[in-house]
Amino acid sequence: MFDLVTRFPQQCREAARIGSELPEEFRPNRPVLSIVVSGLGGSAIGGDMLRCLLEEYGDVPCVVNRDYGLPGFVGKETLVLAASYSGNTEETLAAYDQARERRAQIVCITSGGELAKRAERDGVLVCRIPGGQPPRASTGYLFFPALALLMR
């Protein structure tokens, strides 16, 4: 774990590069009136950072969802960022399915797993991040691509 911590600045640079290289299709196609980051544990920490940043500098409310269901306000003008490092977190998968039912705009941030499979099947945008380390040590990968998306 110590080695992962000492490499965190490198991870942030790599994650910023991943975010900056997202194709133009990674842009909301409708107005966004609210943002929900759905994730658990280490995968939600990037969402917490994004929420804090948007509270201070943004004009769109952001909520971090750590549950199976989504808040009642989620709909067509909500951007749902489904964040699961492994791609197999059942709460995030349930929230993803609910976001699809409500026709929210969705972007997934994951290293793979079931979330990537569902998103690719459904034609939902997937930002692939490197796998192979604990989610709690992957905060940069879960924050910077989301930030890059919102800066467009």
**pLDDT confidence band for 50 (50 / 70 / 90):** very high
Q: Distance between CA atoms of 118 and 132, rounded to whole angstroms?
A: 21
Looking at the predicted structure, is the pLDDT value of residue 71 above 90? Answer: yes
Q: Read off the pLDDT of residues 108-144 as tens digits, 9 standing for 90 and up.
A: 999 999 999 999 999 999 999 999 888 888 899 999 9
Looking at the predicted structure, is the pLDDT value of residue 94 above 70? Answer: yes
Domain ranges of the chain: 2-150
Q: What is the mean pLDDT of the chain?
A: 93
Looking at the predicted structure, is the pLDDT value of residue 57 above 70? Answer: yes
What percentage of the chain has pLDDT greater than the value 90?
74
Q: Read off the pLDDT of residues 20-33 as tens digits, 9 standing for 90 and up.
A: 988 887 777 789 99
Whole-prediction pTM:
0.93
CATH architecture for segment(s) 2-150:
3-Layer(aba) Sandwich (3.40)
